[in-house]
Amino acid sequence: MISWLVALVAGAGAAAWLYGRRLPNDPYRRAMAALRALAVALAVALVLDAPLGARARPTPLVALDVSASWGQGGAARFEEAAARAKGSSGDLVLFGDSLREGSAPKRPADGASRVGPAVDRAAALGRPLDVITDGQLDDPEALDGLPVGSKVEVLPAPEVVDAAVRSLELPSGAAPGDSVELRALVASAGAPVSTVTMAARLADGSVLATAPLGELAAWSEREWRVRVRVPDRRDALVIRVVATAAGDAEHRNDSLSTVLDVRGGPTAVFVSTAPDQDARFALDLMRGAMSYGVRGFVRVAPGQWREDGTLARVEESVVRDAIARAPLVVLHGDTALFGAPRTVTRGALALVVPPRDDDGEYFTAQAGVSPLSPALGGVPWDSLPPISVGTAPLGTSWIALNARRARRFDDRAVIAGYDAPRRIAVLPVRGLWRWKFRGGRAADAFAALWGGVFDWLVQGGTDDRAARAAAAWLREGEPVVWRRGTSRDSVVPVRLRRDGTTADVNLTLRFTDVSGTSSSPLAAGIWRATVPGGSSLFAVNPSAEWVPRRPIVSRVAVSGTPAAGARPSMRSGWWWYALVLVLLCVEWWMRRRIGLR
């Protein structure tokens, strides 16, 4: 109100200064004084942007979840949510795998439930947000940023019996006759499941493994772990894991498919002539960090070899043949036992050469830029247990990690490598097991070191295909991530075809760096990707929206009281400027009629 008082005083003062002391008191001149007073008052009010009326509360933004997870409770549940959204007084937006405006669809089909973009838009507009959802959100933490006055309304699904295969772990490659470990995570919905039976089958229906999983409580998870023997076929095998439960109400989430690439030899080989804790922990991490099948061999005595895991006896000729065919080999101990390592192997190579003599404790310190820098950055190297380090060969392309004796002098390379003509990593070290054994940040450093080495070696493998899908399985709504093969071309044409169809989907992949690239999501099914150098299979499973997840809340949650919005002001309307001009023009015309300027 102060701005209006200032404007009125200014208008009255202008009229009194111009007319009050010189003009007689007649109606005509009174009208001119009133016009001048009103014009000046409005002009000053415009300069001060004087308010008009009371503050109005902002209209809420109504966000409706249109993800496919509504289907778990039937069509009537989404129809109720759409009716509530339509009956709201705010502006409607839809969220799921994207945020957009529009009317509610007849059937929700989005492959994700991301509410974060809706929260960001409401915060940017300064408006409260009314969220209507089934509660199964991908980013429930985004609700912590709701503007004041927002609310979340959850329509939970009915408590039904449902057992779903949430995830699956299986090496993407193996050799015929290998034994590989399969891990599947099974989740339940809002009602207990009395009995669950698991099975792993091939595409032709043959059973690889089956076992009872037992009872599942409501909203619980359980892992099924089994070792299966790889069939004697040199082809890409489609393996389907199925969960069967009595009274299961939703069958679209009962199975998950993946692809196992069965080749003529093992994908990766780990050989140790002097097995110790370093070899044991590195081999375990190699199996966990790589999607490849890994075959390990240890020498327990001169001329006596055992296969890691089963401890079955194998001939030395089998080990030689595995080393010769594998695209990635790790040699630990006597790396020259079978001859020159570069000669007896064909792919990427890691040489772990423990020092023979212990000449003191060495403490690690990160070296300069190397291909492993992204993996090793941020590790607290100066706080790790000491190790023993030998002498690295000369002429390496890079050094990723150094060690210094007594933290003062005698620098030695812990990890060094060659980039060409093939990737070779050299680790003249013993005692890394101490990091893993200590746990905590030291164990994380152990995983970062070996994970970085294995990732770098895998990228230099001998896969002749120009590109391949990075994962053997994914879900509808997820982009397909691609990795480049040995081809030097940064532009790779891809022809995709889904099993059971004749139509092709043609893509052009453009690789800008070694991390890969991605393409648009695909429909569920088994897809064959044909690229220069060969082809590969990968599985696209039904959307993760069909997998039950515990709802975030089961009631309406209100976040504070809506704040009053900004009140309208003089500058919000163009007509006030026009009115000032009209008043001044009328006053000028009246002054001219009586001979005043």
Task: For residue range 541-577, list pLDDT tens digits in order.
Answer: 999 999 988 887 654 555 555 455 556 777 777 788 8
- Find the mean pLDDT for residues 432-452: 90
pLDDT at site 279:
92
| DSSP state letters, 409-451 | EEEEEEEEEE-SSS-EEEE-EE-THHHHHH-HHHHHHHHHHHH
Which of 226-230, 352-356, 463-467 bottoms out in mean pLDDT, i.e. has the lowest?
Answer: 463-467
Decide if 480 contacts 474 (C-beta within 8 A). Answer: yes
CA–CA distance, 190 with 158 (Å, rounded to integer): 8
Burial degree of 424 (CB within 10 A; 0-12, 13-18, 19+): buried
Task: For residue range 3-62, list pLDDT tens digits in order.
Answer: 888 888 888 877 777 776 555 567 777 788 888 888 888 888 888 888 776 666 678 899
pLDDT tier, 341 (very low <50, low <70, confident <90, very high otherwise)? very high
CA–CA distance, 201 with 178 (Å, rounded to integer): 17
pLDDT tier, 309 (very low <50, low <70, confident <90, very high otherwise)? confident
The token pair at 209 is 């493994």
If residue 328 lies in a helix (H) or strand (E), which one and from where to where?
strand 328-332
How far apart, in Å, do the first and last CA atoms of the chain sit? 34
How do strand 504-510 and strand 534-541 relate by DSSP bridges? unpaired
DSSP summary character for residue 569: B
pLDDT at site 409:
67
Is pLDDT above 80 for 348?
A: yes
* One-letter amino acid for residue 166 of the chain: R
pLDDT at site 162:
92
pLDDT at site 553:
63
Q: What is the Rg, in whole angstroms, of the alpha carbon atoms belonging to the chain? A: 36
What are 365's strand-pairing partners?
A: 402
Please report where in the chains the tokens 């009317």 appear, as a residue: 103
pLDDT at site 198:
96
Answer positive or negative: Cα dihedral of 211, 212, 218, 222: negative
Decide if 461 contacts 477 (C-beta within 8 A). Answer: no
pLDDT at site 266:
57
Distance of CA 139 to the CA centre of its chain: 11
Distance of CA 131 to the CA centre of its chain: 24
Decide if 286 contacts 308 (C-beta within 8 A). Answer: no
If residue 260 lies in a helix (H) or strand (E), which one and from where to where?
strand 255-262
The token pair at 408 is 């003062």
CA–CA distance, 94 with 470 (Å, rounded to integer): 31
* One-letter amino acid for residue 382 of the chain: D
Q: What are the CA-CA distances from residue 357 to residues 353, 410, 556 (Å)?
A: 12, 16, 69
Task: For residue range 234-246, list pLDDT tens digits in order.
Answer: 788 999 999 999 9
Higher-pLDDT residue of 483, 366 = 483
Helix axes 440-459, 277-289, angle to 10 degrees: 60
Q: Which residues contact 196 (CB under 8 A, 6 or more apart)?
A: 163, 186, 212, 213, 214, 215, 216, 222, 243, 244, 245
State whether residue 241 is helix, strand or coil.
strand
CA–CA distance, 366 with 386 (Å, rounded to integer): 14
Q: Which residues contact 135 (CB under 8 A, 6 or more apart)?
A: 154, 155, 156, 551, 552, 553, 554
The token pair at 227 is 């070792």
How do strand 525-531 and strand 491-498 relate by DSSP bridges? antiparallel
Q: Which residues contact 138 (CB under 8 A, 6 or more apart)?
A: 112, 113, 114
pLDDT at site 62:
94
Task: For residue range 140-180, list pLDDT tens digits in order.
Answer: 888 888 888 888 999 877 888 999 999 999 887 777 777 88
pLDDT at site 95:
95
Mean pLDDT of the chain: 86
Task: For residue range 90-140, list pLDDT tens digits in order.
Answer: 899 999 999 999 899 998 988 889 999 999 999 888 889 999 998 889 888
Is pLDDT above 90 for 519?
A: yes
Higher-pLDDT residue of 291, 35 = 35
CA–CA distance, 400 with 414 (Å, rounded to integer): 8
pLDDT at site 596:
72
pLDDT tier, 533 (very low <50, low <70, confident <90, very high otherwise)? confident
Task: For residue range 351-382, list pLDDT tens digits in order.
Answer: 999 998 877 888 888 767 888 888 888 888 88
Decide if 479 contacts 520 (C-beta within 8 A). Answer: yes
DSSP summary character for residue 230: P
Is pLDDT above 60 for 517?
A: yes
Number of H helices, E strands in the chain: 11, 34
Instruction: Count other Cβ atoms within 10 Å, centred on residue 263.
Output: 17
Higher-pLDDT residue of 444, 23 = 444
Burial degree of 525 (CB within 10 A; 0-12, 13-18, 19+): middle
pLDDT at site 457:
86
pLDDT at site 359:
77
Please report where in the chains the tokens 């990737």 appear, as a residue: 423
What are 478's strand-pairing partners?
A: none
CA–CA distance, 112 with 110 (Å, rounded to integer): 6
Helical ranges in 87-208 per DSSP H = 116-125
How do strand 150-154 and strand 557-559 relate by DSSP bridges? antiparallel
pLDDT at site 514:
53
CA–CA distance, 236 with 536 (Å, rounded to integer): 8
